[in-house]
Amino acid sequence: MAEDLELNDPRIYFVADYVLKTLKLKSDKFGKMYGTEENKILIHEFFEKAESQILIIQYTAAGSLQPAMAFPNVLKNKSCYFIKKRREPIPKDAILRDVIMYGDLSTSPVDQLSAMVDEV
């Protein structure tokens, strides 16, 4: 899926691949979101700035993807989260499975809590 995107950064490719597979979307959805300069900057800040600890990619009611740096108060649609294990930048050559926790956010808080406890 993410193979269709021309991404030269393996960190972005990892995020795109996970989001597209988890939310069962075509690569054009991620491409359109990533093609917006503001969204691109936000995603790069997650990897490059130590103080940026959380990246949420939400699937909106309008059918588009929207990145955020904090958990939403109300979740209407399924989303994906990426959380750094340490407060430091993540280099392009990092093995992402070792330096971030990631998963999907359910619209049901009970299901989400159960999944988080299982992961810990």
Cα 64 to Cα 39, 46, 118: the distances in Å are 12, 20, 29
If one compares 105 and 114, the residue with the highest pLDDT of the two is 105
Q: Smallest Cα–Cα separation from 102: which of 45, 19, 10?
A: 19
Phi and psi at residue 94, to the nearest 5° = -70, 150
pTM: 0.84
| pLDDT, tens only, 39-73 | 999 999 999 999 999 999 999 889 999 999 988 77
Q: Smallest Cα–Cα separation from 75: which of 111, 49, 43, 40?
A: 111
Find the helix or strand (DSSP H, E) in which 38 lies.
Answer: helix 37-48
| Alpha carbon distance, N-terminus to C-terminus of the chain | 29
3-class state of residue 83 by DSSP: strand
| pLDDT, tens only, 91-111 | 999 999 999 999 988 766 556
